[in-house]
């Protein structure tokens, strides 16, 4: 039965509690406005405060204090009386501290400070390390601090492994260089075997350091310096109190001489080198990537089906193909540049950035064809005759990517080529200078790749800006979340409102299953020339002009 007097009693009790709470609140608070407490970002847990009330603080006063800060109690401590950890739902930590600290019933309030273990930062003792902005940029070259690949942070995760192998297709490698000598003996059976014999029965005699298909022998000694420089970036011995530091302090570099002293090579030598990497992998060596810092004539004046087939064969064997984007300041989407432009999923094309994280003036680019940026201006590394020098070019950028691939394989030897590629792409730092110049808009970051978590990256790959519509047109897009592929996107093409569901199943137009590249076919029959816009379900957009 409804009783008005009972309702009045409840109301009166509620009013008394409210009055008591308000009284308690005003009894323990100064009415003067208090500005937010200023705190250093990253030094405390966001949204949390530790607050300790004075002995004798009333329950209503405690409740009012928490209400003023829009806080809820997460934990109460017994070893420290009246201490509580609270979670904020509206105010900033600084704003909540100001609220608590103005109350007389609060003994103290403080942010939930972050404490880090006193780990030993692995700063190498190599004398030239301090000059290597590409690894750790402190502004030492006049550039922007932290415009680097965060190698110092990455080395707290791993410094590499001699069980990881990276191929270098170049002018050879000075395998006797004091900063490379321990990291350029990939074939122990031949290094420790009998001279003049094929000790490991792989078809090559005395291939301790690699091979030289250009001259038909197994002595890939550098006679130019270029290959030794790219090798040093990948794997100059670290912390040996000598010269420079490689991205991998420990790694095995497989030297494959494809270019002569003038820097010229040929496609046949390149194909044999890629074949050699597969031979080495079949022997149980974890060959994760090759570095290919070359382009232009004579080996890359135009498309080579043989070289593309060899790259695809490497993909089937789990080997990445890292390629420099080129030094023509050109758009690779419209002026094709090989080998960077081979449309095979294991290819990572690399642009060059400087010590301010700007695209290098000479670097090629391409929002459909160039994957990422990496330091490539005034990079210090090893050269032949036991020397060191600074060189610039996308040739210097590529080895940073190959080097990071080595670190990722050292951290987890079971990683697939696609997982390593995706972690390299997703782990980079977004840079405004690369947003309209590369697929990802990112400059690589070794530590970001090693610690990647919930980082989605996407970008259209095909069609290119101009495409022939007389045959089915390949539509492809990168869509990844760290190591894995993300949700399969659809693409709507206008005019015509054609909708295509892209797939990552390794069938039809899709070149590799479950690798994070989603593909489909656009049949524009009869061919209808003109400009088309492709809008992807993840928000990306691209345009192409169809010719017939």
Is 3 part of a structural domain of the chain?
A: no
Marked catalytic residue, from 105, 148, 150, 170: 170
Q: Which of 82, 113, 144 is the last residue of a domain?
A: 113
| One domain, residues 408 and 529 | no
- Please state whether the peptide bond connecting residue 495 to the residue before it is cis, i.e. omega within 30 degrees of 0: yes
Of the residues 452, 468, 502, which one is the last residue of a structural domain?
452
* Same domain as 65, residue 137: no
Counted domains in the chain: 3
Judgement on whether residues 474 and 502 belong to the same structural domain of the protein: yes
pLDDT at 466: 97
- Which distant-in-sequence residues (6+ apart) come within 8 Å of 208 by Cβ? 185, 187, 190, 191, 218
Euclidean distance between CA atoms 220 and 506, whole angstroms = 37
Domain ranges, residue 36: 18-113
Return the number of other C-beta atoms located less than 10 Å from residue 438's C-beta: 30
Does residue 151 fall inside a structural domain? yes
Both 307 and 429 in one domain: the answer is yes
Nearest Cα residue to 295 out of 244, 215, 369, 216:
369
Same-domain status, 302 and 377: yes
pLDDT in the model for residue 24: 35
Q: Is there a catalytic annotation at residue 66?
A: no
CA gyration radius, the chain: 30
Residue 2 falls within a domain, yes or no? no
Position 14 scores a pLDDT of 31
Q: Of these residues, 66, 177, 209, 226, which one is catalytic? A: 226
Report yes or no on 11 lying in a domain.
Answer: no
CATH number for the domain harbouring residue 542: 2.60.40.10
Residue 307 forms part of a structural domain? yes
Q: Is residue 323 located within the same domain as residue 407?
A: yes
Per run of 10 residues, the mean pLDDT along the chain (length 548 residues) is: 31 28 36 55 78 96 96 92 92 93 96 63 90 97 97 95 97 98 98 97 98 96 97 98 98 96 88 96 98 72 83 97 95 94 97 98 97 98 96 97 98 96 98 98 97 95 97 97 97 97 98 98 95 97 97
Whether residue 154 is contained in a domain is answered as yes
Q: Quick one: 168 and 217 in the same domain?
A: yes
Determine the pLDDT at residue 3: 31
Residues 200, 300, single domain; the answer is yes
What pLDDT score does 181 carry? 98
Instruction: Tell me if 98 is assigned to some domain.
Output: yes
Q: Which is the catalytic residue, given 363, 395, 418, 449?
A: 395
Same domain for 380 and 293: yes
- Answer yes or no: is 5 within a domain: no
144: left (phi over 0), alpha (psi -120 to 50) or beta: beta
Question: Both 361 and 433 in a single domain?
Answer: yes
Last residue of a domain, one of 113, 144, 159: 113
pLDDT of residue 27: 38
Q: At what angle do helices 394-411 and 417-426 cross, to 10 degrees?
A: 120
What strands, in cross-sheet order, belong to the sheet with 442-443?
A: 210-211, 250-257, 160-170, 286-292, 320-324, 347-353, 372-375, 442-443, 429-430
Q: Kindly give the pairing relationship between strand 320-324 and strand 347-353.
A: parallel
- Structure-block tokens of residue 295: 């382009």
* 247 and 343 inside one domain: yes
- Answer yes or no: do 197 and 238 share one domain: yes
What DSSP designation does 495 have? Answer: T
For residue 68, indicate whether it is catalytic: no
């Amino acid at each position: 039965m409804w009783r008005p007097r009972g309702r009045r009693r409840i109301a009166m009790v509620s009013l008394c509690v409210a009055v008591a709470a308000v009284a308690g609140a005003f009894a323990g608070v100064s009415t003067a406005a208090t500005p937010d407490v200023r705190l250093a970002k990253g030094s405390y847990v966001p949204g949390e405060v530790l607050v300790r009330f004075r002995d004798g603080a009333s329950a209503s006063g405690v409740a009012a204090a928490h209400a003023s800060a829009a806080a809820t109690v997460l934990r109460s401590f017994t070893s420290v009386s009246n201490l509580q950890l609270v979670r904020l739902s509206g105010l900033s930590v600084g704003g909540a501290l100001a609220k608590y600290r103005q109350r007389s019933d609060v003994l103290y309030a403080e942010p939930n400070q972050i404490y880090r273990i006193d780990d030993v930062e692995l700063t190498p003792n190599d004398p030239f390390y301090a000059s290597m902005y590409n690894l750790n940029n402190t502004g030492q070259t006049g550039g922007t601090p932290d415009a680097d690949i965060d190698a110092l942070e990455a080395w707290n995760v791993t410094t590499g492994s001699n069980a990881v192998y990276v191929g270098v297709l170049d002018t050879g490698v000075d395998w006797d260089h004091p900063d490379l000598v321990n990291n350029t003996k990939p074939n122990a059976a031949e290094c420790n075997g009998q001279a003049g014999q094929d000790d490991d029965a792989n078809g090559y005699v005395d291939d301790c350091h690699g091979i030289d298909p250009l001259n038909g022998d197994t002595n890939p000694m550098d006679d130019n310096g270029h290959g030794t420089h790219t090798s040093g970036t990948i794997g100059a011995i670290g912390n040996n109190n000598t010269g420079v530091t490689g991205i991998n302090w420990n790694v095995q570099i497989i030297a494959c001489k494809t270019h002569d002293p003038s820097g010229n090579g040929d496609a046949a030598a390149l194909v044999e080198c890629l074949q050699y990497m597969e031979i080495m992998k079949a022997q149980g060596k974890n060959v994760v990537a090759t570095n290919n810092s070359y382009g232009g004539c004579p080996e890359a004046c135009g498309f080579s089906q043989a070289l593309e087939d060899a790259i695809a064969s490497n993909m089937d064997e789990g080997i990445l193909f890292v390629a420099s984007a080129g030094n023509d300041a050109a758009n690779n989407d419209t002026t094709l540049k090989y080998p960077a432009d081979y449309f095979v999923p294991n290819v990572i094309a690399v642009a060059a950035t400087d010590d301010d994280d700007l695209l290098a003036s000479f670097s090629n680019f391409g929002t459909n064809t160039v994957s990422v940026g990496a330091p490539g201006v005034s990079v210090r590394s090893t050269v032949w005759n036991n020397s060191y020098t600074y060189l610039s070019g996308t040739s210097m950028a590529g080895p940073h990517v190959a080097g990071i691939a080595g670190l990722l394989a050292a951290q987890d030897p079971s990683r697939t080529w696609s997982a390593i590629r995706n972690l390299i792409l997703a782990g980079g730092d977004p840079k405004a200078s690369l947003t309209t110049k590369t697929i990802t808009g990112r400059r690589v970051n070794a530590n970001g790749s090693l610690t990647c978590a919930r980082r989605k990256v996407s970008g259209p790959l095909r069609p290119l800006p101009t495409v022939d519509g007389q045959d089915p047109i390949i539509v492809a897009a990168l869509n990844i979340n760290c190591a894995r592929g993300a949700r399969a996107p659809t693409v709507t093409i206008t005019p015509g409102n054609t909708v295509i569901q892209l797939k990552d199943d390794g069938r039809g137009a899709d070149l590799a299953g479950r690798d994070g590249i989603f593909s489909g076919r656009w049949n524009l029959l009869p061919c209808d020339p003109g400009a088309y816009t492709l809008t992807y379900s993840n928000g990306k957009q691209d345009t192409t002009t169809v010719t017939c």
